[in-house]
């Protein structure tokens, strides 16, 4: 439930924020609350992914991507996410979520969420996602064109491309496993 309060708080502060360039890094300031903790008394690994949703919502609002999605009657969908945890975030500590666009390919947009505590990275969540409308997936190039960004993505790091291809491979394998057996 506390995530709803965080989301509402972020939305209430929205009207006073200035729009940012899609390649800017957006920052959300947060505090660790009791419901964020696991039995080890630090932020549970699953909570990082949920908190990244708030950072992503902030990013989509500040860059204006939400307006483009509304015009296209599209909704953002997370396809895959990956996390790396480096340092603990403990009860009542403050931290920031730094969100930035890494780039895109023919289908996916890639965002990075860095959890920063005292100037050091506590964790990173990477996400690849799409905007989907009733007619299907909206190509990222259409979204970035509407944002006024050059259609060519910045070069994606080799490790990010490899991760994305690995996700595609896993999706293909899952589709094969789910395929009905014809006798």
pLDDT tens by residue, 54-88: 999 999 989 999 899 999 999 999 999 999 999 99
% of residues, the chain, pLDDT over 70: 95
How many angstroms separate the Cα of 31 from the Cα of each of 28, 63, 145? 10, 24, 36
Segment 38-59 shows an average pLDDT of: 93
Where helices occur in the chain by DSSP H, the ranges are: 2-13, 45-63, 65-71, 140-146, 158-178
Residue 17 clears pLDDT 80, i.e. is over it: no
Do the domain assignments include residue 6?
A: no
Do the domain assignments include residue 13?
A: no
% of residues, the chain, pLDDT over 90: 80
Do the domain assignments include residue 118?
A: yes
pTM: 0.90
Do the domain assignments include residue 14?
A: no
> Cα–Cα distance between 58 and 26 in angstroms, integer?
7
Segment 28-35 shows an average pLDDT of: 93
> Cα–Cα distance between 129 and 132 in angstroms, integer?
9
Contact between 131 and 72 under an 8 Å Cβ cutoff? The reply is yes
Query: Apex CA 122: angle with CA 129 and CA 126, to 5°?
Result: 10
Do the domain assignments include residue 126?
A: yes
Do the domain assignments include residue 46?
A: yes
Domain total in the chain: 1
Do the domain assignments include residue 140?
A: yes
| pLDDT score for 34 | 92
Do the domain assignments include residue 7?
A: no
| pLDDT score for 15 | 52
CATH classification at residue 150? 3.10.129.10
Give me the domain span that covers residue 32: 19-178
| pLDDT score for 1 | 45
């Amino acid at each position: 439930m506390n995530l709803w309060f965080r989301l509402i708080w972020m939305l209430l502060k929205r009207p006073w924020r200035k729009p940012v360039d899609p390649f800017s890094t957006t920052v959300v300031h947060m505090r660790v609350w009791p419901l964020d903790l696991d039995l080890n008394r630090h932020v549970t690994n699953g909570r990082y992914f949920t908190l990244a949703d708030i950072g992503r919502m902030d990013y989509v609002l500040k860059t204006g991507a939400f307006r483009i999605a509304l015009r296209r009657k599209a909704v953002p969908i997370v396809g895959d996410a990956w996390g790396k945890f480096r340092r603990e975030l403990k009860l009542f500590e403050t931290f920031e979520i730094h969100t930035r666009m890494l780039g895109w390919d023919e289908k996916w947009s890639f965002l990075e969420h860095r959890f920063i505590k005292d100037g050091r990275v506590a964790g990173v969540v990477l996400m690849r996602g799409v905007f989907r409308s009733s007619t299907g997936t909206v190509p990222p190039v259409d979204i970035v064109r509407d944002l006024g960004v050059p259609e060519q993505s910045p070069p994606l790091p080799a490790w990010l491309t490899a991760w994305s291809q690995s996700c595609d491979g896993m999706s293909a394998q899952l589709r094969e496993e789910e395929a009905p057996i014809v006798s």
